[in-house]
Amino acid sequence: MNDSTLSRRKLIGTAALAGAAALLPRDLAAQAPAPAPAGAPGGYTIVTSSNGLEAAKAARQALIQGRDPLDAAIAGVNVAELDPDDVTVGYGGIPNEEGVVELDAAVMDGRTMRAGAVAALTGVKTPSKVARLVMEHTDRVFLVGAGARRFATAHGFPDESLLTEKTRKIWLHWKNRLSDLDDWIEAARDAEDPDVKRFLERYGEGLFRPQGTIHLSVRSEKGDLVGVTTTSGLFFKIPGRVGDSPVVGAGLYSENGVGSAGSTGRGEANLLTCGSHTVVEFLRDGLSPEEACLRALKRIAEKTHLVPRHRDAKGRPKFNVNFYCVNAAGRAAGAAIWSGSKYVVGDAEGVRRLDSAYLYKKDA
């Protein structure tokens, strides 16, 4: 779906309703239900990353029950955070190079322009909840590492193991085959483990290490805009490494009256351009959600990592970044540097996964 599809659908829907209303007696016309096509003004809209199908369903359910949009957004991403099979977020996320799962998360409330964030947090399955507590229970925005952990403990979060048997095996496989210059070696049967095999089939191995995240933005029926981004970050990262996800302006940005945006993908590239803030600024300038995402991606492609190892033979980025956004009218879009990405939209019509717009088509 792109903005023009939405506009077309909305226009057809509105025109059809106007035509039907003209045939109805006045009192019945007054009772005719308001049109609620995808992302229509007046309805609620959820936009999230491709791993957010179940999250979008949970957020949608919460909105239908009349819950606050931030409650709904956090309830949505909690599904991914608690899912041990999503190795990019929360519990069961891929650990750092020492086998420790360090999580990053941020929330932003476009009604108040307040935000809360945590980074390199250990032992909490749902860091998005701790980020919200930072926003609501401190006069600060961002807590990291040991301080974030102590804050979580103060708020009653136990220190739990976030490494699952599956991610422990995946990490050990990575460590065993990392180098011939240390004491760790790969046993022949290691790569035969079904969990390791599935991981390698899905993510492969290479210089530009795979990663993942969930971002979820909500535009409520009232027009309020909120966003949440949560991640275990770059796979096998240097301990203490923080990407874009918990950084307000990079991993997410929400402002009532303008829009809400968030990102996944190579965090360093997005950090260097404050990408989500850029998307929202383009919305402020009147660009459609899809154009706003693509323009921000173009800036990343042109301005960041101008070093050969990050560029292919044609000078295009070897990495990917995705943006997701919803504007004040409730229109949503997803876009990526490279073709093949997906995003998820939820609205009164339901929840669906869609193809993201892109800057470059992957070579066949």
The residues binding ligand ASP (CB under 6 A) are 211-213, 231, 233-234, 243-245, 264-265, 267
Smallest separation, CB 253 to ligand ASP (Å) = 14
Measured distance CA(277)–CA(255) in Å, rounded = 10
**Known catalytic residue: 164?**
no
| 35 vs 265, beta carbon nearer ligand ASP | 265
Q: Of 88, 167, 213, 231, which one is the catalytic site residue? A: 213
Q: Kindly report the backbone phi and psi dihedral angles of residue 355, in degrees, each rounded to the nearest multiple of 5, phi listed first.
A: -75, 135
Smallest separation, CB 240 to ligand ASP (Å) = 13
Smallest separation, CB 246 to ligand ASP (Å) = 9
Q: Report angle CA 285, 51, 293 to the nearest 5 degrees.
A: 15
| 211 vs 327, beta carbon nearer ligand ASP | 211
Measured distance CA(89)–CA(55) in Å, rounded = 12
Smallest separation, CB 141 to ligand ASP (Å) = 18
The three-state secondary structure class of 62 is helix
Note whether 118 and 105 are within 8 A (CB).
yes
Smallest separation, CB 67 to ligand ASP (Å) = 27
Measured distance CA(142)–CA(137) in Å, rounded = 12
Strand partners, 351: 346
Instruction: Report the 10 Å Cβ neighbour count for 67.
Output: 16
* Sheet strands (E) in 8-89: 45-49
| Residue of closest CB approach to ligand ASP | 267
- DSSP string for 264-323: EE-HHHHHTTTHHHHHHHHHHTT--HHHHHHHHHHHHHHHS--SGGGB-TTS-BSS-EEE
- DSSP string for 147-214: HHHHHHHHTT--------HHHHHHHHHHHHTS-SSSS----TTGGGSHHHHHHHHHH--SSS-----E
Residues serving a catalytic function are: 213
